[in-house]
């Protein structure tokens, strides 16, 4: 009996303690505050601007100007041609054209004054050789100098182009005096007519050598006295 009373008393104390703790944990309710509708606030909403209500000055200021597109010039494309392009042409064509222009006889008003204007005499020589080997070349720049060769007044070489390399021809002498002449037909592209020549006998012995600087139409001359050998 006493045990039952003790159990009931203990249960009463436990229930009383829980009731006190629950009463202490009661929450406090915070009343809700009614907020204004943001749609009704004109400061927060950006109203669309009607085009008809925009002032001309304001419209000009707010106008967005896009940068202009710059159109770059485009070079016209040339059709490829190995005939039209000079860099693919035969170099000999250009040389031949320059040489052709240089071979034209120059008028008197274009004649250079750096050369001899009167006949240039190179001397008198004796030989027992009936034939002579005459070689000649342009001792200056190869610019199209032309000469004509005579023996005793007769033309042996009508028109000879002087080049940097030696050219030659053989001539046959008559007994006695033989006058050999070289006439300058032009002055090339730079002027005057410039040449170097050498004369050998039939055995290859050098008889004479010299140079000239002649104006157009002027001659260089020398005399060779041929004496036949006695048999």
Mean pLDDT across 216-224: 94
Domain assignment of residue 145, yes or no: yes
Residue 187 included in any domain: yes
HEC secondary structure over the chain: CHHHHHHHHHHHHHHHHHHHHHHHCCCCCCCCCCCCCHHHCCCCCCCCCCHHHCCHHHHHHHCCCCCCCCCCCCCCCCCCCCCCCHHHCCHHHHHHHHHHHHCCCCCHHHCCCCCECCCEEEEEEEECCCEEEEEEECCCCCCCCEEEEEECCEEEEEEEECCCCCEEEEEECCCEEEEEEEEECCCCCCCCEEEEEEEECCCCCEEEEEEEEECCCCEEEEEEEECCCCC
| pLDDT at residue 138, as a whole number | 93
In this structure, is residue 97 part of a structural domain?
A: no
Range of the domain at 199: 115-226
Per-residue pLDDT at 172:
96
Mean pLDDT, rounded, for 158-169: 94
- Whether 111 has a pLDDT exceeding 50, the answer reads no
Q: For 77-94, what is the mean pLDDT?
A: 53
Domain assignment present for residue 119? The answer is yes
State the pLDDT at residue 83: 46
Structural domain contains residue 110: no
pTM: 0.53
The tally of domains found in the chain comes to: 1
- Quote the percentage of the chain above a pLDDT of 90: 42
* 123-138 confidence digits (pLDDT tens): 999 999 999 999 999 9
- Judged against a pLDDT cut of 80, whether residue 218 lies above it is answered with yes
Asked whether residue 150 is assigned to any structural domain, the reply reads: yes
């Amino acid at each position: 009996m006493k045990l039952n009373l003790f159990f009931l008393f203990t249960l009463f104390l436990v229930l009383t303690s829980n009731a006190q703790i629950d009463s202490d944990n009661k929450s406090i309710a915070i009343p809700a505050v009614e907020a204004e509708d943001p749609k009704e606030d004109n400061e927060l909403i950006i109203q669309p601007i009607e085009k008809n209500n925009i002032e001309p000055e304001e419209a000009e200021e707010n106008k967005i100007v896009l940068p202009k597109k710059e159109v770059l010039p485009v070079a016209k494309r040339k059709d490829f041609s190995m005939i039209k392009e000079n860099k693919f042409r035969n170099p000999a064509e250009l040389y031949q054209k320059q040489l052709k222009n240089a071979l034209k006889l120059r008028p008197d008003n274009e004649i250079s004054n750096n050369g001899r204007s009167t006949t240039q005499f190179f001397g008198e020589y004796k030989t027992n050789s009936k034939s002579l080997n005459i070689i000649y070349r342009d001792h200056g720049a190869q610019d199209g100098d032309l000469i004509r060769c005579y023996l005793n007044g007769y033309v042996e070489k009508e028109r000879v182009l002087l080049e940097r390399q030696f050219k030659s021809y053989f001539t046959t002498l008559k007994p006695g005096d033989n006058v050999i002449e070289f006439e300058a037909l032009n002055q090339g592209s730079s002027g005057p007519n410039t040449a170097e020549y050498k004369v050998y006998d039939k055995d290859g012995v050098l008889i004479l050598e010299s140079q000239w600087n002649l104006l157009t139409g002027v001659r260089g001359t020398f005399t060779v006295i041929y004496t036949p050998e006695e048999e």
